[in-house]
Amino acid sequence: MIGFDPSYMLYVFLPTMLLSLLVQLYLKRAYSKWSQVRNGNNLTGAQVTKALFDRTPLDEIGVEVVPGDMTDHFDPRTNIVRLSQGTATRPSVASMAIAAHELGHVQQYQTGSALIKARNFLVPAVQFSPMVSYVAILAGLLLNITGLFWIGILFFSLMVFFTILTLPVEFDASRRGMILLGEAGLLTSNEDRSGAKTVLRAAALTYVAAAVTAVLQLLYYISLANRRR
């Protein structure tokens, strides 16, 4: 089985586990620090969101509060920004940065970002590709049918491409968020600016780790298929 292959453990499982652990520790450290530092305007994440709608060209949409920390996201299906309770209620640098990032996603949709269009184009495919890929890969292994194994790899490649495409989308949302904060006059100090960048960089690294994991997994499947020729 794949999980007991020494090469899988050495080149995929252990590196990705280590990378994920380091990224999560970095994110936790950054968030822990900057969630305790008040932003220059003493605004909660919810107030930052309102200010950005009022002071920038963004069209205002609905905002909801959801339980937890770092559960923030923009739902394009309902056109609603959902802020975690921690982000919505704390007047911290972290809350300001996270709220701005989510509105960066809103701006991507409202301006018709090419990156968003490209990722959305793949959404229907990646909704069923995980099941198809794993079934085909497992069946190809058990039945020793190389062609079926390669079909699984093809569908897995769609997921990998989607994961990689997510990187520029997330980095662009953070870039847009920082610009929106500047336009709204909410970056009042170097501490605001550097802290916001640190939080957004740490959050973005989680997507980098996911992309690296997906690529290594794909390369392993390809090497396994080549070995079975």
Residues known to be catalytic: 102
Length of the chain: 229
What distances in angstroms separate CA 189 from CA 38, 126, 211, one per listed residue? 11, 42, 34
State how beta strands 73-75 and 62-66 pair: unpaired
CA distance 209 to 52: 30
CA distance 177 to 181: 6
Helix (H) / strand (E) element for 65: namely strand 62-66
One DSSP character per residue, 7-53 reads: HHIIIIIHHHHHHHHHHHHHHHHHHHHHTSSBPTT---HHHHHHHHH
- Give the phi and the psi of residue 72 in degrees, each rounded to 5: -70, 140
Helix (H/G/I), strand (E/B), else coil: 191? helix
Helix (H/G/I), strand (E/B), else coil: 39? coil
HEC readout, 72-92: CEEECCCCEEEEEHHHHHCCE
What distances in angstroms separate CA 109 from CA 64, 75, 134, one per listed residue? 18, 11, 32
